[in-house]
Amino acid sequence: MRLSTRRMLDRSFSGLGFFAVGLMAASLIVILAPMFVRGLDAFVFKATVEHRRLMLERFGRGNRAVVDKDLEAARIAREPLYRILAEFKEEMEGFDPDRRRMFRTSVRELETLVQSLLGPFPGEPTPALIRRQYGQTRWDQAQLKLQEILYVESYDYSDATRMGTKVYTPRQALYEGTRLHGFFPYLEKHVEAMLRPRTTLYWRFLFDSSLDAHFFGGIWPEMLGTLYLTIGAMLFAVPMGVIAAIYLVEYAKDTGLIQLLRTCISSLAGVPSIVFGLFGLAFFINTLHVSSSKSVLAGAITLALLVLPTVIRASEEAIRAVPLTYREAALSLGAGKWHTIVSVILPAALPGILTSIVISMGRAAGETAPIIFTAAVSVGKPLKVWETLSKPTPALPWNIYNLATEHEAVDQIRHVQYGMVFTLVALVLLLNITAIILRARVSTKLRG
């Protein structure tokens, strides 16, 4: 081969390499950037006076005098709005019955919308559902509500050969010539004074329990549940995995049975996670009765089984990689086999074992399928440590799925869902970084 051809091939190969790395980085940004940006929306947003009222009444946060002043200012801004509505209802009594009936339904719809924007009407008894006790707590959601009030969304079906097209008509037009006519321009002009949005950092999103099935509040039970499950899984998987690895490397003879065992471990790594979930339900909960219902314990053991092959395999490699001279040195000094393993081989293999823990910890934290049937619930309180033995918990991966597909008000609480995604990704990163630092420390210590 001519030198120039070789050089060209070489160059094109490194070019391809750069391209692959660039592509990976770009896709990582494409995936992670929106996740972080939208996730941050759960923490930093324009909060309305309703948010501050919620924080004060439900979590006892904020200065009562300041919030009261805030609410008073909002009340003054809202007053004319409620007055117009009351005046219109009075006026309505004078209409002829047909017209009155027509207005009655549309006014009820309008009232529901106004209630969901601003909260209960003054003098109205407190609704039982917390979601109805407050208006929109977020300015972005409030603006969507405002649009809904100002414009009626309907569809034009005049072209029978195609699907209808969306048309927006001002709601104001419905009330032409009545007192309610002035309601809409007033609302549009003064909505900011009625809700008093202010940019707020809600860092306690992480440490608040959810209120009314995630309509308000934070994600503490979910976060705690994920931590319990991950740590619990590691508590089971690491000792069992490392012991199994020691056995396989140091003690096991190369018999057919051991060969079979190795094949089994490898295949276990390829079993779909939902199968582990069903196994966990059938074996740990329904057969062994480790707990009377789903529980963190059952979930953690199931997750441990899921990550066990990874731990065994990686630990095995790490132990195998310890140079033979270490063993020989230890044995020559008179140490027994067990002593050699505990005091020489394991410490030397520790960085490798830690790597396996890092990898499986991220996996355990993010898995959904194994915990659906064994540990995860949609709502629940944050658990105390001893309660993990018998009680189920919400957990981030499952609740993200739950909020994305099952929740009755998906579109109103997207920010919570993104906040959870953000937290889960950040949590896994944090766990990994901690383990990586730990590993670096251990390695330097060993080398030194």
Partner 1 sequence: MLRTLILACALIGTAFAGDPSTLVLDGSTTVGPIAKAFAEYYMQNNPDVNITVSESGSGNGAKSIVNGTCDIANMSRFMKHEEFKAATDAGRMPTAHVVAMDGIAVVVHPANPVKDLTVDKIRDIYTGAITNWKDIGGPNKKIIVVSRDTNSGTYETFETLVMNKQKMAGSVEYVGSNGAARQRVQSTDAAIGYVGLGFVDNTVKAVTVNGVAATPQTVASGTYAVARPLFMFTNGYPKLGSHLHAFVTLHLTAKGQEMVEGIGFVPVTAY
Sole binder of partner 1 in the list 94, 289, 332, 385 (CB under 8 A): 289
Reference 277, options 366, 405, 375; nearest CA is 375
CB of 204 to partner 1, least distance (A): 19
Q: What is the H or E stretch that residue 171 is in? A: none
Angle formed by the axes of helices 220-246 and 346-366, to 10°?
A: 140
Specify whether the CB–CB gap between 420 and 404 falls below 8 A.
no
Reference 375, options 292, 272, 297, 316; nearest CA is 297
Sole binder of partner 1 in the list 387, 432, 442, 443 (CB under 8 A): 387
Locate tokens 């006076």: which residue? 49
Q: What tokens appear for 245 in the block?
A: 């690895």
CB of 293 to partner 1, least distance (A): 4
Specify whether the CB–CB gap between 370 and 303 falls below 8 A.
yes
Sole binder of partner 1 in the list 33, 251, 406, 430 (CB under 8 A): 406
Binding to partner 1 by residue 385, rule CB under 8 A? no
Number of CB atoms found within 10 A of residue 210's CB: 22
Sole binder of partner 1 in the list 96, 98, 254, 411 (CB under 8 A): 411
Site string for partner 1, 109-138 (x = CB under 8 A): ------------------xxxxxx------
Site string for partner 1, 165-194 (x = CB under 8 A): xx----------------------------
> What's the first-to-final CA gap in the chain, in angstroms?
48
Reference 48, options 228, 163, 174, 200; nearest CA is 200
| Cα–Cα distance, 164 to 141 (Å, whole number) | 26
CB of 393 to partner 1, least distance (A): 8
Which range, of 77-85, 348-356, 358-366, 387-395, touches partner 1 by CB under 8 A?
A: 387-395
**Cβ burial, residue 161 (10 Å; 0-12/13-18/19+):** exposed
- Enter the DSSP assignment of 288: S
Binding to partner 1 by residue 288, rule CB under 8 A? yes
Angle formed by the axes of helices 97-118 and 64-92, to 10°?
A: 170
Q: 300-310 in b/e burial notation, b at 16+ Cβ within 10 A?
A: bbbbbbbbbbb
- Enter the DSSP assignment of 138: B
Site string for partner 1, 343-382 (x = CB under 8 A): -----------------------------xx--xxxxxx-
Sole binder of partner 1 in the list 93, 98, 176, 408 (CB under 8 A): 408
| Cα–Cα distance, 369 to 272 (Å, whole number) | 9
| Cα–Cα distance, 365 to 45 (Å, whole number) | 28
Closer by beta carbon to partner 1, 298 or else 427: 298
Size of the site for partner 1 (CB under 8 A): 61
Which range, of 73-81, 150-158, 266-274, 329-337, touches partner 1 by CB under 8 A?
A: 150-158
Q: Which of residues 258-287 bind partner 1 (CB under 8 A)?
A: 284-286
CB of 381 to partner 1, least distance (A): 5
Q: What is the H or E stretch that residue 373 is in? A: none
Binding to partner 1 by residue 163, rule CB under 8 A? yes
| Cα–Cα distance, 29 to 314 (Å, whole number) | 29
CB of 306 to partner 1, least distance (A): 15
CB of 390 to partner 1, least distance (A): 4
Sole binder of partner 1 in the list 297, 318, 319, 361 (CB under 8 A): 297
Binding to partner 1 by residue 105, rule CB under 8 A? no
The DSSP bridge partners found for residue 153 are 168
Sole binder of partner 1 in the list 116, 137, 368, 402 (CB under 8 A): 402
Binding to partner 1 by residue 211, rule CB under 8 A? yes
Instruction: Write out 119-153 in H/E/C secondary structure.
Output: CCCCCCCCCCCHHHHCCCCEHHHHHHHHHHHHEEE
Phi, psi values for residue 72, rounded to 5°: -65, -45
Which range, of 155-163, 176-184, 346-354, 423-431, touches partner 1 by CB under 8 A?
A: 155-163
| Cα–Cα distance, 398 to 231 (Å, whole number) | 17
CB of 240 to partner 1, least distance (A): 7
Closer by beta carbon to partner 1, 200 or else 402: 402
Binding site for partner 1 (CB under 8 A): 127-132, 148, 153, 155, 157, 160-166, 211-213, 236, 240, 243, 284-286, 288-295, 297, 301, 372-373, 376-381, 383, 386-387, 389-394, 402, 405-411
